[in-house]
Structure 1
Amino acid sequence: MRNLKARRYIYLIVTVIILSFIVFINTIGNILVDIDEVEKSDIIVVLMGSIPDRILEAVDLYKSGYSDNIVIVDEYKSPLIEEKNIDTPVGASINKSIAVEMGVPRENITIIDGNTFSTQDEAVNIRYYLKENKDINSMILVTSKYHSFRAKKIFEKALDSLDRDVKVISRPTKYDEFNHDRWWQNREDIEKVVFEVIKLLNFYFIDQFKL
Structure 2
Amino acid sequence: MKLIRNLLTLLGAITFLGIMASAVLFFYAPEILHRVDNLEKADAIVVLGGQYFRPIYAADLYNEGYAPLVLVSKPVAYDEVKAIRRLGIPRKLQWEIYREILLKKGVPESNIKYFGGKNMSTIDEAEQLKKELTEHKLPTDIKKIILVTSPLHTGRAGKIFRDALPDKDFIVVGDPYEPVLKKWWTNFHTAPYIILEATKNVFYYLGGAFRSSTQN
TM-score range, shorter chain: 0.7 to 0.9
Tell me what 1:155 maps to: 161
Over the aligned positions, Cα root-mean-square deviation in angstroms equals 2.6
State the AA in 2 paired with 1:98: I
In 2: Cα distance, 1:85 partner to 1:112 partner = 27
> Is residue 2:103 matched to residue 1:97?
no
- Pairing 1:41-190 to 2, within 5 Å after superposition: 41-51=42-52, 53-77=53-77, 78=79, 80=83, 87-131=90-134, 132=136, 133-160=139-166, 165-179=167-181, 181-190=182-191
- 8 Å CA contact retained: 2:116, 2:125: no
State the AA in 2 paired with 1:76: V
In 2: Cα distance, 1:21 partner to 1:15 partner = 10
In 2: Cα distance, 1:143 partner to 1:130 partner = 20
1:24-45 residue CA offsets vs partner (Å, 9 max, x unmatched): 2233211101110011111101
SS of equivalent to 1:31: helix
In 1: Cα distance, 2:159 partner to 2:34 partner = 12
Residue 146 of structure 1 and its aligned partner are, at CA, apart by 0.8
- 8 Å CA contact retained: 2:116, 2:129: no
Which region of structure 1 is more displaced relative to structure 2, 188-197 or 20-29?
A: 20-29
SS of equivalent to 1:171: strand
In 2: Cα distance, 1:12 partner to 1:202 partner = 26
Which region of structure 1 is more displaced relative to structure 2, 70-79 or 165-174?
A: 70-79
**Structure 2 vs 1, CA of residues 68 and 17 (structure 1 numbering), >3 Å: closer, same or farther?**
same
Report the TM-score when normalising by structure 2: 0.81
- 8 Å CA contact retained: 2:30, 2:180: no
Residue 88 of structure 1 and its aligned partner are, at CA, apart by 3.4
Residue 207 of structure 1 and its aligned partner are, at CA, apart by 3.2
SS of equivalent to 2:113: strand
**What is the number of equivalent residue pairs in this alignment?**
200
- 8 Å CA contact retained: 1:56, 1:175: no
Report the TM-score when normalising by structure 1: 0.83
In 1: Cα distance, 2:163 partner to 2:73 partner = 18
Residue 86 of structure 1 and its aligned partner are, at CA, apart by 6.0
Residue 149 of structure 1 and its aligned partner are, at CA, apart by 0.4
- 8 Å CA contact retained: 1:114, 1:122: no
State the AA in 2 paired with 1:96: R
